């Protein structure tokens, strides 16, 4: 008998099956042979939320959640944050190796020269309500990119894939900044090719009447590191969305738009926004014990804590902490830092959180830094989407090369009725209650209407 195998005995039939084990996994399809009757469908694995299912083979990002390790293409996140830049890390994620100097020059040149978006995209943004959430605008903008680059549908063409990678990484910051300017009622600022990636983004966000907006170095350094920290995180909710949607062979802009939508959720990219709101609600360090009590009663969630994969301190959270002081030296001190530090200390001293292995994640401190930079809370998730675009593209590219690629199509356990006889409407009986929306909330005022 092969040693790398799993022997399964079906106690319903007494039959034994041997299933191969490879890379510590069994193939769910190997379970299909397990059946009571020959004409039965066969056994499936049930795993809502994919908590114990590997959905692909990937060499992009390695995480050891128990040890708190994160590596991209084999390089530790600590080394990358200390020695690299976001654009170099984006190259590493997508092409699998650190670039040589000429490769990096070409990559940076290509990204820098594709930062402009078509003027019609600007008009699309002008059509949004004045208070549209910038993430909703980004979602629409990224989806709309597919209509400007229809050749990107040729996903088998390496040149088209390269151009889509360049355009996405180059244009997402522009769309992100435009969404902010729209919210603020300010004119859009065009990209400045003389600035680096982080500087250019901050310039498009904050430039007013000056000829050139050059942000403080402490801020651009911190932002570049935050970009590296958020660049990829293996099969998280949004990456899974990009892969799932991309598996239909749709163009990469549409697949990445799916990632943006997933990231919008408060349990994923929206968490740092939620952290800031939580810290503001706590108001002062003396309210922390009462707040933590409410978390334990499950009336609240401790946002910025806990992670599906990390059951230890999120290494990204540790790195971010080093940038808090330099950012606050270059800006204004925020009392929220004290609340965050005290909240972290108390939670880490509390059995409720340690027993559940709840530690700060990347989002616990990132929002505080963004706020210090003058970025409004609504923009936090949008800023997360900028670097994560590199990860989505890398994972999308990898999927295209995967010989096992197939359209994603999970199974289900059907729990409903079967083979009912259709009842004409006049003969139907049922509860009096009419299903409809809950009591109407007052409408928000509309501009100019």
For residue 112, the surrounding DSSP H or E stretch is helix 101-112
Residue 364: CB minimum distance to ligand CMC, A: 7
Q: Cβ closer to ligand CMC: 304 or 315?
A: 304
Distance CA 182, CA 137 (A): 10
Distance CA 154, CA 37 (A): 45
Gap between the terminal Cα atoms of the chain: 76
Q: Is 361 in the site for ligand CMC (CB under 6 A)?
A: yes
Q: Is 301 in the site for ligand CMC (CB under 6 A)?
A: yes
Q: Return the active site residues.
A: 268, 307, 363
b (16+ CB within 10 A) / e for 172-198: bbbbbbbbbbbbeeeebbbbbeebebb
Instruction: Specify whether the CB–CB gap between 300 and 347 falls below 8 A.
Output: no
Q: Cβ closer to ligand CMC: 111 or 292?
A: 292
Distance CA 81, CA 434 (A): 57
By CB under 6 A, name the one of 141, 259, 306, 391 that touches ligand CMC: 306
Q: Is 213 in the site for ligand CMC (CB under 6 A)?
A: no
Q: Cβ closer to ligand CMC: 233 or 243?
A: 233
- Which one of the spans 28-36, 122-130, 208-216, 303-311 is the region binding ligand CMC (CB under 6 A)? 303-311
Q: Is 207 in the site for ligand CMC (CB under 6 A)?
A: no
Phi-psi group of 400: left, alpha or beta (phi > 0 → left; psi -120 to 50 → alpha; rest → beta): alpha
By CB under 6 A, name the one of 205, 231, 295, 394 that touches ligand CMC: 295
Binding mask 246-285 for ligand CMC (x = CB under 6 A): ---------------------xxx-x--------------
Binding mask 379-408 for ligand CMC (x = CB under 6 A): ------------------------------
By CB under 6 A, name the one of 304, 315, 367, 387 that touches ligand CMC: 304
Residue 174: CB minimum distance to ligand CMC, A: 24
- Which one of the spans 210-218, 301-309, 337-345, 369-377 is the region binding ligand CMC (CB under 6 A)? 301-309
Q: What does residue 35 show for φ and ψ, rounded to 5 degrees?
A: -150, 160
Instruction: Specify whether the CB–CB gap between 55 and 243 falls below 8 A.
Output: yes
Distance CA 375, CA 272 (A): 12
Distance CA 10, CA 427 (A): 46
Positions touching ligand CMC (CB under 6 A) are 233, 236, 267-269, 271, 295, 301-308, 356, 358, 361-363
């Amino acid at each position: 008998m092969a040693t790398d195998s799993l022997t399964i005995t079906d106690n319903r039939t007494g039959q034994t099956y041997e299933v191969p084990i490879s890379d510590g996994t069994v193939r769910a399809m190997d379970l299909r042979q397990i059946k009571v009757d020959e004409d039965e469908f066969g056994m499936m694995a049930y795993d809502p939320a994919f908590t114990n299912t590997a959905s692909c083979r990937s060499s992009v990002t390695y995480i050891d959640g128990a040890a708190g390790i994160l590596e991209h293409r084999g390089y530790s996140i600590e080394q990358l944050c200390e020695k690299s830049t976001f654009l170099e890390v984006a190259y590493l994620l997508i092409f699998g190796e650190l670039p040589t100097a000429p490769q990096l020059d070409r990559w940076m040149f290509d990204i820098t020269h594709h930062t402009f978006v078509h003027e019609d995209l600007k008009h699309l943004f002008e059509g949004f309500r004045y208070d549209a959430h910038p993430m909703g605008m980004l979602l629409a903008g990224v989806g709309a990119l597919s209509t400007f680059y229809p050749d990107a549908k040729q996903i088998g063409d390496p040149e088209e894939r390269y151009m889509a990678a360049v355009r996405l990484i180059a244009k997402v910051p522009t769309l992100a900044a435009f969404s902010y300017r729209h919210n603020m009622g300010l004119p859009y600022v065009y990209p400045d090719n003389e600035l680096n990636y982080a500087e250019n983004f901050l310039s498009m966000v904050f430039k007013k009447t000056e000829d050139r907006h050059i942000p403080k170095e402490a801020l651009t350094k911190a932002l570049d590191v935050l970009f590296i920290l958020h660049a990829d995180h293996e099969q998280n909710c949004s990456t899974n969305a990009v892969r799932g949607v991309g598996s239909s062979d749709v163009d990469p802009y549409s697949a990445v738009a799916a990632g943006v939508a997933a990231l919008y959720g408060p349990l994923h990219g929206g968490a740092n926004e939620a952290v800031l709101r939580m810290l503001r609600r706590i108001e002062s360090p003396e309210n922390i014990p009462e707040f933590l009590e409410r978390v334990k009663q499950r009336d609240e969630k401790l946002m910025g804590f806990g992670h599906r994969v990390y059951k230890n301190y999120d290494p990204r959270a540790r790195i971010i902490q080093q940038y808090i002081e330099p950012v606050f030296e270059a800006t204004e001190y925020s009392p929220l830092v004290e609340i965050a530090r005290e909240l972290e200390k108390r939670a880490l001293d509390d059995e409720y959180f340690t027993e559940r292995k709840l530690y700060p994640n990347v989002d616990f401190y990132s929002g505080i830094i963004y706020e210090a930079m003058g970025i409004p809370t609504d923009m936090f998730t949008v800023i997360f989407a900028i670097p994560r675009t590199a990860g989505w593209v890398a994972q999308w590219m990898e999927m295209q090369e995967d010989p096992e690629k197939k359209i994603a199509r999970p199974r289900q356990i059907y729990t409903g009725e079967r083979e009912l006889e259709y009842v004409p409407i006049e003969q139907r009986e049922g509860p009096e209650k009419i299903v409809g929306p809950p009591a109407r909330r007052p409408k928000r005022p509309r501009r100019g209407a």
